[in-house]
Structure 1
Amino acid sequence: MRPAASPADAGAAAAETVLRLAVLLQAGVAPAAAWGHLSDTGDPAAARIAAASHDGMPLPDAIAAAGPAPGRPARRSGAAAEGPERVWADVAAAWRVATGVGAPLAETLRAVASALRDAQEAADDVRVALAEPAGTARLMGWLPLVAVGLGAALGFDTFGVLFAQPFGIACLVAGAALILAAQRWNAALVRRARAEGGVPGIGAELLAIALSGGVSIERATAIVSAAGAPADASTDLVLSLSRTAGVPAVELLRASAALSRHRARIEGRLRAARLSSRLLLPLGVCTLPAFLLLGVAPMMLSVMSTMPLSF
Structure 2
Amino acid sequence: MSAPAGFDPVRTARVLDRVATLVTAGAAPARAWALVEGRGDGVAGAGAGAGAGARVGAGAGAGAGAGAGAVSGAGAGAGSGARATARGSAAADDVRVVVAVAERTGAPVAPTLRALAEALRRTAAGDRAVRVALAGPRTSANVVLALPVLGVVLASLWGVDTLGVLVGSPVGWASLVTAACLVGTGSAWSRRLVRAVEPDGRIPGVLLDVWAVALSGGGSWSGAGDVVRAAVGDRPTDPEEQARLSETLTLARRAGVPAAALLRSAAEDLREDAAAASLADAERLGVRLVVPLGVCVLPAFVLVGVVPVVVALLSSTVAGLG
| TM-score class, shorter | 0.7 to 0.9
- Residue 48 (structure 2) pairs with residue 53 (structure 1): yes
Question: Equivalents in 2 of 1:293, 1:112: separation in Å?
Answer: 57
Structure-1 residue corresponding to 2:37 = 39
Q: Deviations over 1:275-311 (max 9, x none)?
A: 1221122122211211111111111111122113447
| Length, aligned pairs only | 290
Q: Is residue 144–residue 287 contact of structure 1 (8 Å, CA) maintained in 2?
A: yes
Partner of 1:302: 312
Flag the 1:241–1:56 CA change in 2: closer, same or farther, 3 A: closer
Q: Give RMSD over aligned pairs.
A: 3.1
Structure 1, residues 30-66: CA drift from partner, whole Å, max 9, x if none?
5554444323389xxx9xx949928964432343355
User: Aligned in 2, Cα 1:222/1:94: closer, same or farther, shift over 3 Å?
Assistant: same
Query: Is 2:301 the partner of 1:291?
Result: yes
The match for 2:22 among 21, 24, 31 is: 24
Counterpart amino acid of 1:124? A
**Structure 1: gaps spanning 5 or more residues:** 76-80
1:132 aligned residue: 132
Instruction: Confirm or deny that 1:263 pairs with 2:258.
Output: no
- CA distance 1:52–1:145, shift in 2 (3 Å): farther
Conserved in 2, the CA contact under 8 Å of 1:148 and 1:158?
A: no
Q: Deviations over 1:173-200 (max 9, x none)?
A: 1101111111121122122223331211
Could you tell me how far apart the structure 2 residues matched to 1:195 and 1:30 are? 32
AA partner of residue 299 (structure 1): V
TM-score if structure 2 supplies the norm length?
0.79
Q: Which amino acid aligns with 1:145?
A: L
For 1:169, the aligned partner's letter is W
Which of 245, 262, 268 lines up with 2:255 in the alignment? 245
Distance 1:85 1:201 in 2: 17
Amino acid at match of 1:301: V
Q: Which runs of 5+ in 2 are unaligned?
A: 54-62
Corresponding position of 1:9:
8
SS in 2 for 1:82: helix
Partners in 2 of 1:119 and 1:37 — Cα distance?
23
AA matched with 1:122? R
Q: Which residue of 1 aligns with 2:113?
A: 113
Q: In structure 2, the residue corresponding to 1:227 is in which secondary structure?
A: helix
Contact 1:14 1:116 in 2 (8 A): no
1:214 counterpart (218, 227, 236): 218
Give percent identity, aligned residues only.
Answer: 34
The change in CA–CA distance for 1:164 and 1:187 in structure 2 (over 3 A counts) is same
Q: Counterpart of 1:197 in structure 2: which amino acid?
A: G
2:16–2:114 Cα contact (<8 Å) kept = no
When residues 51 and 293 of structure 1 are mapped into structure 2, their CA distance, relative to the original with a 3 A threshold, is farther
1:280 and 2:280 correspond? no
Distance 1:127 1:247 in 2: 38
Classify 1:190/1:122 alpha carbon distance in 2 versus 1 (closer, same or farther; 3 Å). Answer: same
Asked if the contact 1:63/1:89 (under 8 Å) is kept, the reply is no
Which position in structure 2 is the counterpart of 1:78? none
With structure 1 as the length reference, what TM-score do the two structures score? 0.82
Specify whether residues 54 and 222 from structure 1 end up closer, same or farther in structure 2 by C-alpha distance, changes over 3 A only: closer
CA contact (8 A) 1:148 1:294 kept: yes
Letter in 1 for 2:279: R
For 1:98 and 1:51, locate their aligned partners in 2 and report how far apart those are by CA, in whole Å: 15
Partner of 1:151: 151
Instruction: Check whether the contact 1:82–1:198 (CA below 8 A) recurs between aligned residues.
Output: no
| Alpha carbons of structure 1 residues 38 and 87: separation in structure 2 relative to 1, 3 Å | same
